[in-house]
Chain A
Amino acid sequence: EDQVTQSPEALRLQEGESSSLNCSYTVSGLRGLFWYRQDPGKGPEFLFTLYSAGEEKEKERLKATLTKKESFLHITAPKPEDSATYLCAVQAGDSNYQLIWGAGTKLIIKP
C-alpha cells in the first residue's frame, strides 16, 4: 500500500537552531514529491517539487532533498516566522494524478 509518513509530529526549536524534517514514503514508482507550508486556518502554500533521487532545491532558509526512500526539509537558522505545519505529498507513477499526503510536522520556532 502506498504510504507517506512524516516525522516528527511536532518540533520545537529556538530561533537560529537548525534542524530537519523527514518525509518517508513507500510508493510504486515515484512521479514527484511535494513540500508545502500551511499556516493555521489557511490553505497550503507550495514550496518545492522534487522528481528524482539526488535532487535538491533551496528557498531562503529551506532546503529540500530527495532519496529513493525519503525526503528531508532542512531549515537553517530558523526565525519565528518559519513556524507553521509542513506537509509532504507524493505522486506515484500509477496514481492517476492523485497525491498521497503525510499528516504534517508542526514546527514552532521560539524567539
Chain B
Amino acid sequence: DGGITQSPKYLFRKEGQNVTLSCEQNLNHDAMYWYRQDPGQGLRLIYYSQIVNDFQKGDIAEGYSVSREKKESFPLTVTSAQKNPTAFYLCASKRPGIGRDTQYFGPGTRLTVL
C-alpha cells in the first residue's frame, strides 16, 4: 500500500538537544510539507519542498531545519534554538500537476520536551 510514514510516533527531548523526525512517502509525490499542530490552533507550516534538493521556509521556520536529498524522504530537525518545541508534528505530500492540490498526511509525531 502507498502512503506516508512518520517515525517515531512519540519523541522526548531534553533541553539543548537536537532531534530529527522522519517522514517517508512511497506515493511518488513531488511536494512535501512539515506542519506543527498546537491545541486550539490551525496547522502552521514549518517548511515545504516542491522538488528534490530544494525547500522553502514556511511561517514558523525558526529553530527548525530540513533536507530533501531523495524524493521519498523529507526529515525535519528540531534544533535547540526552537524554544517551545512541544507539539504534534505532521508531514504531508502532494501529487504533481495542475489542479492536484490536495495534501495527504502521515500519522504524526508527538514531541515532548522534558
A residues within 8 Å of B by Cβ?
Answer: 4, 31-32, 34, 36, 41-46, 49, 51, 87, 89, 91, 97-104
Contacts and interface: CB of A to CB of B under 8 A. Distances in A.
B48 A31 contact: no
Interface string B25-46: 0000001000000001111110
B104 A46 contact: yes
Interface of B: 4, 6, 31, 40-45, 48, 50, 58, 88, 90, 94, 99, 101-108, 110
Q: Is the interface of B mostly helix, strand, loop or mixed?
A: strand
A45 B41 CA distance: 17
A46 B6 CA distance: 17
B37 to A, nearest CB: 9
A4 B90 contact: no
A5 to B, nearest CB: 10
